[in-house]
Amino acid sequence: MELLRIDCLGKELRLEGSMAGWQQLYWDNKLVSVKQASANHEGLRNHEFELTPHTASTEEQAQISTSLKITLEVDLQWQPFNLQYRLLKNDDVLTQGNRDSKDIEQQTPVAPIPVKKQFSLVGLASLGFKLLKNAKVIKVVLAGASVAAYSWLFSFQFALALIACLVFHEYGHIRAMKYFGMKTKGIYLIPFMGGLALSDEKINTRWQDVVISIMGPTFGLLMSIAALIAYWVTGNVFFAGLAAFNALLNLFNLLPILPLDGGHILKSISFSMNSLLGLFACITGAAIGVFISYTLGLALLGFLLLIGSLEIVFEWKSRHQSHLLPLDRYGQLFSAIWYLVTVGALVAIIWYFAGSGDEILGLPLQILQS
């Protein structure tokens, strides 16, 4: 990931690195210093390189009449992220300062972030939207197709209410993106799949990934609570069904399976744990979740939780290659609590309506127990 970008003798000086310990320093897009990966991935490191008139370009020779020794002193701490730096020309200080996670969130990397290419329905749909980004009618067509699909499954009135829940869920993602200053492309509804909130911009930190991912289910939870209150006030079973099925949709979104929201959340938490103790905590938490699910008779939820957790554990070794700034320990704890409270609240709503004796309202719980 890009750690630092400053001016050095009228040219850009850029430092890139990862939690694996490697660091690479570029001056005018030329690699001038490399620090190899090591177990000691934090602390003070010095990058030194020499500029001479012989090696400089014609434009640079006007600034470099004699050999110059350039030193970048970097004191790096990953959790919480803090980078203190000092740039020296020979023994003279040119500039100094520090950076924190807020600076990383707001930066736009110079070097494009490589994206792992893999086939997925979501990726295929996203590509289709990019090809049709100037045809705004696609949103209306997809929304109409979604209404027709859900009307066929339920009823027209319930389909409209379900679409409203999906839009509110995706709006949660949109609000989080805008909070981080990201430009959004709007919400697209996909029949039988839900919806997508799209943005062309890339995230820089795992905190951004957590907040953007969890805000959709959080908004979904608020919608279910609002429908629950409406049911208590009016006694209309329509609101009860809306609350229960909306809770089920958002609960499935929180499963730790990529590309679902839960997969992004738990991957960000577990990949930010930079020790075997962190991995053990992740495995223990997943095992407890599976045990509780099967104890409560939620067989499907427990099975998918197990599969998703194993997927994340198997990818844990690749965490150092990510360009995303990891969560600090406070961020890991806060994200885990936020995730568990949201999951627990959604399960509680489903369980509450299943005890009403109504066969339709008990269907979400039966799905989880299947």
Per-residue pLDDT tens for 89-130? 888 888 888 888 888 877 776 554 444 544 454 555 555 555
Question: Looking at residue 290, what is its pLDDT?
Answer: 74
Chain center to CA of 100: 19
Chain center to CA of 350: 27
Q: Under 8 Å CB-to-CB from 111, ≥6 apart: which residues? A: 2, 16
Domains of the chain: 2-106 (2.40.128.180), 119-201 (no CATH), 205-370 (no CATH)
> What angle do the packed helices 329-354 and 206-234 form, to 10 degrees?
30
How far, CA to CA in Å, does 74 sit from each of 11, 38, 46, 128, 288?
Answer: 19, 16, 6, 44, 41
Strand duo 194-199 + 184-190: pairing? antiparallel
Q: From the CB of residue 174, how many other CB atoms can be counted at a distance below 10 Å?
A: 22
Would you write out the chain's pLDDT as a tens digit for each of its 370 residues? Answer: 788 888 888 888 888 887 767 788 888 888 888 887 766 667 888 888 887 755 555 555 455 556 788 888 888 887 778 888 898 888 888 888 888 888 887 777 655 444 454 445 455 555 555 544 444 555 555 556 666 666 666 667 777 877 888 888 889 999 998 888 888 777 777 665 666 677 777 888 889 999 999 999 999 999 999 999 999 999 898 889 889 988 988 888 887 777 778 888 888 887 787 666 666 766 776 777 777 777 767 676 677 777 766 766 666 666 666 677 888 888 888 998 999 999 999 999 999 998 877 777 887 777 777 6
Per-residue pLDDT tens for 72-99? 888 888 777 888 889 888 888 888 888 8
Question: Looking at residue 134, what is its pLDDT?
Answer: 46
Q: Under 8 Å CB-to-CB from 315, ≥6 apart: which residues? A: 267, 271
- What three-state secondary structure class fits 84? strand
